[in-house]
């Protein structure tokens, strides 16, 4: 007999909310709406090779990057699934420059949703895993009115739920409300996400590092030394580490969460703030990683402590096993970091 309980994500969310006295069930209903969007996106991702959805949509997103059709589709699905539930007061998406208001004919709720509808979009044509990343906050502006930019620009510490979906060899949804990290695999035959990874804990130390090494020339000198250190031989500390990098943050962080190790997208002399977006990518992943016993830092401080000033701001990120993230922080602190940063 299988050891695990047969637990759908909807039931898991409801049971989780029941543990909090005074909970209204509103967050459960919001998450159920989101789950529907993920099922629809997953279906579309799986048939992407069969229909005319591959390739560039011909436009650029707000970061000046080419947008693929599936990004646009995923963004629209998220909006359509979430605009009329009555739980949100505002949304923001990596694919849209401004905050996204709830249409005036729908009820306005007390939650805020930020999302990267399709992460790893450069991998779509190659069938490499891609994903969706999201985070939910409580509004800080007055109830009953449309949400504001201030509702979206909150510290990661204020997230009430964070999660992601990987559309890979199977579709898996991982989420946390701060109290444990749980993974659910989509059973396509019944259309349900079933609990498959209960209470995920990241190993305290790993033996895999994940970074775009093509940018080596532009890195901080301490980071260069750190990567060289990982490549040296030392049986006791399980070096040399293995290197894995897909180009989809969601897939690289998911692997890091399960196997341990470290994923990095650092600042470099060409991109002084790194590449990844604080609000749509780094904060939700940081909340998940910390809830699983790991660490997420911008090199000097916790990602979730960053005070955001811009919806689309970027941050360097070092995320994964506690030991590994602390070690890269030390390497960078010991290596004339200030003068390097000042030169940028």
**Token duo for residue 8:** 């759908």
Instruction: Using the minimum distance from each CB to ligand AHG, give the nearer residue, 180 or 247.
Output: 247
Size of the site for Mn ion (CB under 5 A): 4
For the purposes of burial, counting CB atoms within 10 Å of the CB of 148, is it exposed (0-12), middle (13-18) or buried (19 or more)? Answer: middle
Nearest alpha carbon to residue 262 among 305, 207, 314: 207
Residue 212 interaction partner, one of ligand AHG, Mn ion, none, beta carbon < 5-8 Å per kind: ligand AHG
> How far is residue 78's CA from residue 131's CA, in Å, rounded to a whole number?
13
Instruction: Using the minimum distance from each CB to ligand AHG, give the nearer residue, 121 or 327.
Output: 121
> How far is residue 154's CA from residue 279's CA, in Å, rounded to a whole number?
9
119 binds Mn ion (CB under 5 A): yes
Instruction: Using the minimum distance from each CB to Mn ion, give the nearer residue, 118 or 253.
Output: 118
Instruction: Using the minimum distance from each CB to ligand AHG, give the nearer residue, 133 or 202.
Output: 133
Encoded one letter per residue, x for contact with Mn ion by CB under 5 A and - for no contact, window 268-307 reads ----------------------------------------
Question: DSSP labels for 272-339?
Answer: TT-SSBIIIIIHHHHHHHHHTT-EEESSSSBGGG----STT-B--EEEE-HHHHHHHHHHHHTS-HHH
- Smallest gap, in angstroms, from Cβ of residue 157 to ligand AHG? 23
- Smallest gap, in angstroms, from Cβ of residue 308 to ligand AHG? 18
Of 48, 69, 82, 116, which lies in the binding site for Mn ion, with binding defined by CB under 5 A? 116
Q: Which stretch binds Mn ion (CB under 5 A): 13-21, 29-37, 88-96, 219-227?
A: 88-96
Q: What angle do CA 202, 163, 115 make, to 5 degrees?
A: 140
- Smallest gap, in angstroms, from Cβ of residue 124 to ligand AHG? 9
Give Rg (Cα) of the chain: 20
192 binds Mn ion (CB under 5 A): no
Across the beta sheet with 161-167, the strand order is: 100-101, 88-93, 111-119, 130-138, 161-167, 171-176, 181-187, 192-197
- Smallest gap, in angstroms, from Cβ of residue 5 to ligand AHG? 33
Instruction: Using the minimum distance from each CB to ligand AHG, give the nearer residue, 13 or 209.
Output: 209
Check if the beta carbon of residue 167 is closer than 8 Å to that of residue 130: yes
Check if the beta carbon of residue 233 is closer than 8 Å to that of residue 239: yes
Instruction: Using the minimum distance from each CB to ligand AHG, give the nearer residue, 206 or 266.
Output: 266
Q: SS3 breakdown of the chain: % helix, strand, coil, rounded to 5?
A: 35, 25, 40
252 binds Mn ion (CB under 5 A): no
- Smallest gap, in angstroms, from Cβ of residue 108 to ligand AHG? 28
Instruction: Using the minimum distance from each CB to ligand AHG, give the nearer residue, 119 or 290.
Output: 119
Please list, in sequence order, all residues whose beta carbon lies within 8 angstroms of the beta carbon of residue 154, skipping any fewer than 6 positions away.
112, 137, 140, 308
Q: Which stretch binds Mn ion (CB under 5 A): 82-90, 115-123, 203-211, 305-313?
A: 115-123
| Cα atoms found within 13 Å of the Cα of residue 52, Cβ hemisphere only | 1
Question: DSSP labels for 110-151?
Answer: SEEEEEEEEE-GGGGGGT--EEEEEEEEE--S-TTS---HHH
- Smallest gap, in angstroms, from Cβ of residue 262 to ligand AHG? 13
Instruction: Using the minimum distance from each CB to Mn ion, give the nearer residue, 119 or 324.
Output: 119
**Binding-site ranges for ligand AHG (CB under 6 A):** 65, 94, 116, 119-121, 212, 247-249, 265, 275
- Smallest gap, in angstroms, from Cβ of residue 166 to ligand AHG? 11
Residue nearest to Mn ion (CB): 119
- Smallest gap, in angstroms, from Cβ of residue 105 to Mn ion? 29
Give contact residues for Mn ion (rule: CB under 5 A): 94, 116, 118-119
């Amino acid at each position: 007999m299988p050891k695990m309980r047969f637990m759908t994500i909807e039931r898991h969310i409801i049971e989780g909310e029941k543990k909090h006295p005074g909970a209204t069930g509103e967050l459960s209903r919001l998450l159920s709406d989101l789950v529907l969007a993920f099922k629809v996106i997953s279906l579309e991702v799986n048939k992407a090779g069969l229909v005319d959805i591959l390739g560039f949509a011909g436009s650029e997103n707000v970061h000046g990057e080419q947008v693929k059709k599936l990004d646009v589709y995923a963004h629209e699905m998220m909006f359509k699934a979430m605009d009329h539930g009555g739980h949100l007061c505002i949304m923001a998406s990596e694919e849209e420059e401004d905050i996204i208001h709830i249409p005036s004919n729908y009820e306005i709720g007390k939650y805020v949703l930020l999302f990267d509808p399709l992460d790893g979009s450069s991998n779509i044509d190659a069938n490499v895993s891609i994903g969706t990343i999201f985070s939910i906050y409580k509004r800080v502006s007055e109830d009953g009115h449309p949400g504001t930019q201030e509702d979206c620009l909150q510290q990661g510490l204020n997230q009430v739920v964070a999660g992601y979906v990987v559309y890979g060899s199977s579709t898996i949804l991982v989420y946390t409300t701060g109290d444990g990290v749980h993974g659910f695999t989509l059973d396509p035959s019944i259309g349900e996400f079933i609990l498959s990874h209960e209470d995920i804990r990241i190993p305290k130390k790993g033996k895999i590092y994940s970074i775009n090494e093509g940018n080596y020339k532009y890195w901080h000198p301490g980071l260069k030394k750190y990567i060289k250190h990982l490549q040296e031989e030392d049986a006791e500390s399980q070096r040399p580490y293995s290197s894995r990098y897909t180009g989809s943050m969601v897939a690289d962080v998911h692997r890091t969460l399960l196997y341990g190790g470290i994923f990095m997208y650092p600042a470099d002399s060409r991109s002084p703030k790194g590449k990844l977006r604080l609000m749509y990518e780094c904060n939700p992943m940081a909340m998940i990683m910390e809830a699983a016993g790991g660490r997420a830092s911008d090199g000097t401080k916790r990602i979730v402590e960053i005070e955001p000033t811009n919806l689309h701001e970027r941050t360097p990120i070092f995320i994964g096993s506690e030991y590994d993230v602390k070690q890269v922080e030390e390497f960078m602190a010991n290596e004339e970091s200030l003068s390097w940063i000042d030169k940028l």
